[in-house]
Structure 1
Amino acid sequence: MKIKLQRYKDVEGANISKVVMVFEDTETTSCDGLKEILRCIKEEKHFSGKKNEIYTLTNVENNRVVKSILIGLGEYKHLSIDLIRNVSAKVMKEITAQKITNVAMYIDQFTSNTPELIKAMTEAILMSAYRFDKYKSEKVSEVLKEVTLVVNNEADINVLMDNVKEGHAVAEGNLLARELVNEPANILTPAELAERTVTVGKNCGFEVEIFDRKEIENLEMEAFISVGKGSANEPKLIVMRYMGNPEDKNNILGFVGKGLTFDAGGYCLKTAPTMWQMKTDMGGAGAVIGAMSSIAKMKIKKNVVAVVAACENLISGTAYRPGDIINTMNGKTIEILNTDAEGRLTLADAVTYIIRREGASKIIDIATLTGAVGGALGNVVTGVVSNNDELYSKLEAASKKCDEKVWRFPAFDEYKALLKGNNADLANITAPVGGGAITAGLFVGEFVEEKPWVHLDIAATAFSEGTPNKEYFTKGATGIGSRLLYELAKID
């Protein structure tokens, strides 16, 4: 789909279908030809401009059917960037349903924050069009070919096209994350995830290095290796490097994504009805790969390294067991009380690697880690544990840029005390006293070696079985985290 910009004076009067955004508490519209019509429609109460309300006018111009779609924004005082994202996505679905191939979206009435609006609308237009139908015999064909964003007559088109470009890059990172998470585990093995990451790196402009099982063993990443021992598909350590600011080599932002391409739970087996969803247990990996693609495409002047410890947690004669005591790259020992608390084990070694071998000065780990986070926050907000107020504040600022909401959990010493093992330094689960999302995050925090660190638990936000809570998401993977990490890299 092509997205372009034109000034109002250059597009007005063209025989092209239009989208006009309308506030509930004003009759003004940027499209001159619709002002009187809109007034009449409001007076007749056919359309009021309430948020997400849609009304279509159909006309014939020069032997062509031309439609004007009105979409409500609600009251002006509630206008926000994410409202524009959601409304844009909703009207895109309506345009697709009406089989419109070319459309002009009028945004010239928004005289403030135009660059952010253009970026947000570009994101929404592209993200709302996504479908995962590659394995279906009958695929949904793309109807909409071109969207023209109509800006005010004084706008500098060349400058604003940079915002379209950024919106493209951010949306494509999100869609890459979704595509990876939606893939079935028989296709997306650790090796396949590694190969696709290599391809993304070549296409987008970042370095990728893949470590095989023997190399992982040589790194003494026993916790990571232990989780993958039950699978015939060997683990892969995926390392991505983007050095956008070589003059500041000591300042490296480190992303660590959980990469369980399938998690059956090991000997602490998951229940059958929802086990199919465990193909999504690499949602953190998808997020960091998507973020790295966006960062590299936009040539952000920052140094960013990302690590994914990719493996499968299955059952076999070689699988690790409850009661095992294993070592870590860090040197701390872990007593395995539950083989389904595996993600924190892979993250522990990946965090140690990114600090000791890649020199990361700040760490963000992102993982579909616990069911407890959904019990605490539902599927609207990502739970966060952090040891650094400044880094968390930057994350919060980034979340407001992309409206991927975050909420910081407490990290009191009383929670940390629960991590101690009876027969080893740490236990991989705590007694059933609640706070599981907190203690799981703090377990990872035991390996950050006092570096500024943020942990993101996306177990409840990375995938939607029903109706997603954003118009620009679709059923299935949401790609949560990719846009958030990109915005953080820009800020940090």
Structure 2
Amino acid sequence: MIFHSKNIKSKNNEAETKFITYFEDSKLEDLNLSLDNELLSKIKFTLDSEGFKCKNGELQNINLFRNESPKNIILIGIGKKEDFNLDKLRKNIAKAVKEAASLKSKSIDINIGNLVSLMNLDEITRTISESAVMAEYKFDKYKSDKKAKILEQFTIIYNLEDELESIDKGINEGIILGQANLLARELVNEPANILSPIELAQQAKKAGDESGFEVEIFDEASIKALNMQAFLEVAKASANPPRLIVMRYNGNPIKKDEIVGLVGKGLTYDTGGLSIKTTAGMVTMKSDMGGAAAVIGAMTAITKLKAKVNVVAVVASCENMISGNSYRPGDIIGSMGGKTIEVLNTDAEGRLTLVDAVNYIIEKEHATKVVDIATLTGAVISALGTTTTGVVSNNDFFYSRLEQASKICDEKVWRLPAFDEYKELIKSDVADLKNIGGPKAGTITAGLFIGEFVGENPWLHLDIAGTSWSEKDSGYESKGATGEGARLLYHLIKQLEK
């Protein structure tokens, strides 16, 4: 879809479908829609009827029954002005885009005149464009009867002569963020027989080549030379060899010693190992690299939008499979950081790969702040459902920046406690640590296990096990992968510019 901005005075390229956002207390004459009297009377009739109340999420299609454009007007109810926020706009635009697609519209326009007093122009246009990009997505590449996309053009109409720069800035940012989210979704949705660790590394390289960040890929021999023992223990049962993926972006050479490290869990398939999952539990385990997909997607946006922060992203990618070479419950294994680990459950494998990746990003890439993001625990779904990402952190300021980023993109986060008493649960009688803390506080102990390897560096652990996957289409999210984390990490990096 191609996006444009256009002054309301322009009469060129009339769209087939018009979107009109409408508050409960709006007056038609105040919207400055630049429509002829016939169209205005049809809108007024619809607004005066009992069927459309302008409630948030309510859509009303007005079919004009004519060949010339516009052919349809879609009224988008967004509730009361005092309750308005960007995510309501994001969800309602997505709903309207899907409705326009069902009407086989090739072009859409929206007049943002009644929104500009409520939010910054670049926020509004970013939100509209990213929503339109995300709403179009459907993972159908392996279906023989997939339908071609119909929507070709989306135009944002404005009536402010001197604000074109802000409008176009927002549109550009929204498109790039939407595409970053879709890249993450596409990677997660790929089946494990297609997306092996080697292929994930190649996809990261492709994203780097297209976006402008550096990518270095370490093979198995190089990983062994780095002494990444915990990572290799998880990887060794698979016929598909592991890969360590390192992505680098230098956005602030003046502060070259300040580096944000992003670490994404990259299990391209997880059987649970010898602590095997059920068949039903394995069906969606192609999604166990949702953290890796998020950091790859985020790196594309960070680079294209030229964030003024130095960022390194690392993915330790492998499969957790079963063979005569599998690591076992009861094994004591090493780690790059030198700590020994008692393995009590081979299905708690992601944290083993993450601790080596975290140690690498601090020791070798000199990251001064670290974020790890992972589909790590079922416990987070029990605690927070599929709406909210659980967070463990050792730094109040760093978490506050994440919280602010969350409010911008509405990828919800909630900080969990990290008291020292929880750390007692991961102490082992026979090694430095054990890889599970027992049946209680599973999300917290998993996060704190990783935290044992970050030292004094400010650190955030994001558990997206619940938020990275959706069982149904909803708003701008599609069934399957949600791409959670790609936009959130970008906005976190932007917060750190300040």
TM-score band by shorter chain is over 0.9
Superposed, which structure 2 residues align to 1:30-109 within 5 Å?
A: 30-33=32-35, 34-59=39-64, 63=68, 66-109=71-114
Q: Aligned equivalents of 1:365 and 1:15: distance in 2?
A: 44
C-alpha change, 1:30 and 1:271, in structure 2 (3 Å) is farther
Could you tell me which amino acid in structure 2 is paired with residue 477 of structure 1?
A
Could you tell me which amino acid in structure 1 is paired with residue 423 of structure 2?
K
Secondary structure at the aligned position of 1:150 is classed as strand
Superposed, which structure 2 residues align to 1:131-146 within 5 Å?
A: 131-146=138-153
Secondary structure at the aligned position of 1:489 is classed as helix
Query: 1:177 corresponds to which residue?
Result: 184
Counterpart of 1:437 (choices 413, 427, 443) is: 443
Query: 2:207 corresponds to which residue?
Result: 200
Superposed, which structure 2 residues align to 1:278-427 within 5 Å?
A: 278-427=285-434
Could you tell me which amino acid in structure 2 is paired with residue 302 of structure 1?
V
**Is 1:23 matched up with 2:29?**
no
Could you tell me which amino acid in structure 2 is paired with residue 77 of structure 1?
E
Do the aligned residues in 1 keep the contact of 2:392 with 2:416 (CA within 8 Å)?
Answer: yes
Could you tell me which amino acid in structure 2 is paired with residue 333 of structure 1?
T
Aligned-residue offset at 1:16:
3.9
Could you tell me which amino acid in structure 2 is paired with residue 461 of structure 1?
T
Q: Aligned equivalents of 1:362 and 1:297: distance in 2?
A: 22
Could you tell me which amino acid in structure 1 is paired with residue 33 of structure 2?
C
Aligned-residue offset at 1:62:
6.6
Query: 1:229 corresponds to which residue?
Result: 236
How many residues are treated as equivalent by the alignment?
489
Could you tell me which amino acid in structure 1 is paired with residue 461 of structure 2?
H
Q: Could you tell which deviates more after superposition, 21-30 or 321-330?
A: 21-30
Query: 1:479 corresponds to which residue?
Result: 483
Query: 1:246 corresponds to which residue?
Result: 253
Q: Aligned equivalents of 1:325 and 1:98: distance in 2?
A: 61
TM score, norm. by length of structure 2: 0.96
Deviations 1:370-397 (A, max 9, x none): 0000000000000000000000000000
Q: Aligned equivalents of 1:217 and 1:414: distance in 2?
A: 35
Consecutive unaligned residues in structure 2, runs of 5 or more? none
Deviations 1:39-83 (A, max 9, x none): 332322131211121112222567567111111111111111111
Aligned-residue offset at 1:17:
2.5
Consecutive unaligned residues in structure 1, runs of 5 or more? none
**Is 1:488 matched up with 2:492?**
yes
Aligned-residue offset at 1:155:
4.3
Could you tell me which amino acid in structure 2 is paired with residue 80 of structure 1?
N
Deviations 1:451-485 (A, max 9, x none): 000000000000112344xx011001000000000
Q: Could you tell which deviates more after superposition, 24-33 or 239-248?
A: 24-33
Aligned-residue offset at 1:431:
2.4
Do the aligned residues in 1 keep the contact of 2:14 with 2:70 (CA within 8 Å)?
Answer: no
Do the aligned residues in 1 keep the contact of 2:472 with 2:478 (CA within 8 Å)?
Answer: no
Q: Aligned equivalents of 1:184 and 1:66: distance in 2?
A: 41
Q: Aligned equivalents of 2:368 and 2:137: distance in 1?
A: 36
Q: Aligned equivalents of 2:372 and 2:365: distance in 1?
A: 15
Do the aligned residues in 1 keep the contact of 2:241 with 2:318 (CA within 8 Å)?
Answer: yes
Do the aligned residues in 1 keep the contact of 2:8 with 2:34 (CA within 8 Å)?
Answer: no
Query: 1:258 corresponds to which residue?
Result: 265
Secondary structure at the aligned position of 1:74 is classed as coil
Q: Could you tell which deviates more after superposition, 49-58 or 247-256?
A: 49-58
Could you tell me which amino acid in structure 1 is paired with residue 178 of structure 2?
A
Could you tell me which amino acid in structure 1 is paired with residue 152 of structure 2?
K
Deviations 1:13-45 (A, max 9, x none): 946421111112223334243554433323221
Q: Aligned equivalents of 2:329 and 2:211: distance in 1?
A: 42
Do the aligned residues in 2 keep the contact of 1:123 with 1:170 (CA within 8 Å)?
Answer: yes
Q: Aligned equivalents of 1:118 and 1:336: distance in 2?
A: 50
Do the aligned residues in 2 keep the contact of 1:109 with 1:152 (CA within 8 Å)?
Answer: no
C-alpha change, 1:63 and 1:342, in structure 2 (3 Å) is closer
Q: Aligned equivalents of 1:404 and 1:41: distance in 2?
A: 35
Do the aligned residues in 1 keep the contact of 2:104 with 2:151 (CA within 8 Å)?
Answer: yes
Superposed, which structure 2 residues align to 1:143-162 within 5 Å?
A: 143-162=150-169
Do the aligned residues in 1 keep the contact of 2:237 with 2:325 (CA within 8 Å)?
Answer: yes
Query: 1:2 corresponds to which residue?
Result: 2
Q: Aligned equivalents of 2:182 and 2:146: distance in 1?
A: 17
**What RMSD in Å do the two structures reach over aligned CA positions?**
1.5
Could you tell me which amino acid in structure 2 is paired with residue 87 of structure 1?
N
Do the aligned residues in 1 keep the contact of 2:271 with 2:282 (CA within 8 Å)?
Answer: yes
Secondary structure at the aligned position of 2:313 is classed as strand
Identity %: 52
Secondary structure at the aligned position of 1:227 is classed as helix
Do the aligned residues in 2 keep the contact of 1:27 with 1:39 (CA within 8 Å)?
Answer: no
Aligned-residue offset at 1:232:
0.5
Query: 2:456 corresponds to which residue?
Result: 450
Aligned-residue offset at 1:214:
0.7
Q: Aligned equivalents of 2:13 and 2:493: distance in 1?
A: 42
Deviations 1:190-215 (A, max 9, x none): 00000111111011000000001111
Counterpart of 1:115 (choices 109, 119, 122) is: 122
Aligned-residue offset at 1:159:
3.7
Q: Aligned equivalents of 2:477 and 2:468: distance in 1?
A: 11
Deviations 1:270-328 (A, max 9, x none): 01113111100000000000000111111111100000000000000111001110001
Could you tell me which amino acid in structure 2 is paired with residue 85 of structure 1?
R
Could you tell me which amino acid in structure 1 is paired with residue 93 of structure 2?
S
Q: Aligned equivalents of 2:380 and 2:65: distance in 1?
A: 53
Could you tell me which amino acid in structure 1 is paired with residue 51 of structure 2?
H
Secondary structure at the aligned position of 1:267 is classed as coil
Secondary structure at the aligned position of 1:281 is classed as helix
Could you tell me which amino acid in structure 1 is paired with residue 25 of structure 2?
D
Could you tell me which amino acid in structure 2 is paired with residue 392 of structure 1?
Y
Aligned-residue offset at 1:129:
0.2
Secondary structure at the aligned position of 1:282 is classed as helix
Q: Aligned equivalents of 1:314 and 1:63: distance in 2?
A: 59
Q: Aligned equivalents of 1:54 and 1:155: distance in 2?
A: 32
Q: Could you tell which deviates more after superposition, 64-73 or 99-108?
A: 64-73
